[in-house]
Structure 1
């Protein structure tokens, strides 16, 4: 057995001429090594030119902190770093925001200074970065100061012990036991009156949706943004269109937007989809205007 380190992963191969034999101990060692290799394969390649926790001049702009996970599901899927890089370009284009990127979680205390909004794009559930190592207290303090929060894809899924806290931050959370998830293509063309849809036209995306969300009591402060119907129930007149994106204005101040899609990186090539996400981030930072959204 040999493992060869590549730029972003380890590849494994077997060589029978050097094998100690097909013994239980050898097979066990082989399984452990293969597991280790697969874990490395799950790590995203960190671009050499990636600027991490860079100090920015946010004078007159909203400082937006993007927190990206460093794993990938498959090439082009759950590409947290790539997705954050693209959205950072878009929010910066209008001159309203100064984006900063952190991987997994900020390591510098000053990264949190003067943050107007935080964007989560990483794994959810038990791997959720915001609830690890007491980090929830950091986010709780930030939102209580009125900072914005944007949750993309799996970050709407919190461990059950944090569900109520997550609901207080963003107006809703995916909860195991009642929440549902599946993958299908949807076209969005009818939008409610809301600033996040400034300049947004119809778009079609293939995505993995999380729905059947636990919302704040009475949906108070929640504005549904995007809805979709499970294709298996398209012909059912009683089927409800599930909310898969929503905005939330907290009672004490501060805005949040959650979009439970975001599975495929290529979706960002659609200018209307990209504009919707850009607007959502800027709105959460209270900087969206008719001319603020990226035009690309």
Structure 2
């Protein structure tokens, strides 16, 4: 009996080996470690201001939606969300790597009622991007915060806001300028911004010499002043970035008055690069690629007029 039993066992083992060869056992994944979580994608929170100007001007919502869409397409690891007005949801900034503000500034700036909560975000290393009018806040507490968060801001009776054609003939070597070529474009380019003393921690991104025609207006809170006239003919910075000691980053650009500027491949790439850089996401050597918006897309989400 024993020889027969041994042969029977050997046969079973042989058959089992054949079955395993053709039908391997499924791979069993290890149980997750308690408390561990899959790293979430970085979030970029866009905050769009309301309507305040004529058609095609200060189209904050349309601009934010367009930029958020192109950013997500170019950097799939970035999650984007656009809020119309300051978000009221308590978890709106959870996991935010960067906040982009594109809206009216000055005394009606959205951030003025939220300075301390935004400062708390900045202390956590969250980045900040401000576009066009959003770079203007009142001098004092808000201005001091912007000097820290962004490195500079529009200060009334110091900075000016003319509409002119800027020629950016050369660009500094920086992740934000990756793939961006020298360009010329007409916009409301603010300049003579209030920057940190000695430009400490601030890197100019767009610099050129404004023409004399930009100072033809009489002195006023936005139009002209003795300080800016004393610097006539000197280079001025229209976009800049800052790396803060807390690890956070900031970027400000004074253009963006006209919605049409987002059809310019270089302007769009520069701002998309900047948002990605501020969020500490990778910026490829050629910059973030994005398709030129169609005429139909440029007509979407505009303010009613």
TM-score (norm 1): 0.75
Check the 8 A contact 1:179/1:213 in 2, yes or no.
yes
Which residue matches 2:86? 105
The equivalent of 1:158 in structure 2 is: 137
Cross-structure match for 2:108:
127
CA RMSD of aligned residues (A): 2.0
Shift of the 203–72 alpha-carbon distance from structure 1 to 2, 3 Å rule, reads farther
Q: Which residue of 1 aligns with 2:301?
A: none
1:187 is displaced (CA, Å) by 2.7
Give the SS at the match of 1:247: strand
Q: Which residue of 2 aligns with 1:225?
A: 205
- After TM superposition, the structure 1 stretch with the greater mean CA deviation from structure 2, 107-116 or 93-102, is 93-102
Kindly indicate whether the alpha-carbon contact (under 8 Å) linking 1:191 and 1:197 is maintained by their aligned counterparts in 2.
yes
Distance in 2, Cα, partners of 1:86 & 1:294: 14
Taking a change above 3 Å as real, the CA distance of residues 204 and 292 of structure 1, as seen in their structure-2 partners, is closer
Q: Which residue of 1 aligns with 2:61?
A: 81
Structure 1 CA distance, aligned partners of 2:105 and 2:232?
31
Aligned partners of 1:267, 1:182: CA distance in 2, in Å?
16
Question: Larger radius of gyration, structure 1 or 2?
Answer: 2
CA offset at residue 213 of structure 1? 1.3
- How many Å separate the matches in 2 of 1:225 and 1:71? 28
> Equivalent residue for 2:27?
none
Question: Following superposition, which runs of at least 4 residues in structure 1 exceed 2 angstroms of deviation?
Answer: 58-61
Q: Structure 2 residue aligned with 1:251, among 245, 260, 271? A: 245
Task: Sort the Cα spacing of 1:269 and 1:59 in 2 relative to 1 into closer, same or farther, 3 A.
Answer: farther
**Greater relative contact order: 1 or 2 (C-alpha under 8 angstroms, separation 6 or more)?**
2
Paired residue secondary structure (1:63): strand
* Residue 188 of structure 1, CA deviation: 2.2
What does residue range 20-99 of structure 1 map to in structure 2 within 5 Å? Answer: 60-94=40-74, 95-99=76-80
Q: How many residues are treated as equivalent by the alignment?
A: 236
Q: Which moved more, 1:224-233 or 1:279-288?
A: 224-233
How far is the alpha carbon of 1:112 from its aligned partner? Answer: 1.0
Bigger mean CA offset, 185-194 vs 270-279: 185-194
Q: Per residue, is there more strand in 1 or in 2?
A: 1
Counterpart of 1:293 in structure 2 is: 288
Q: Which residue is 2:227 aligned to?
A: none
2:283 and 2:49 map into 1 onto residues whose CA distance is 29
Q: Does 1:148 align with 2:127?
A: yes
Structure 1: unaligned runs, 5 residues or longer: 1-57
Instruction: Tell me what 2:295 maps to.
Output: none
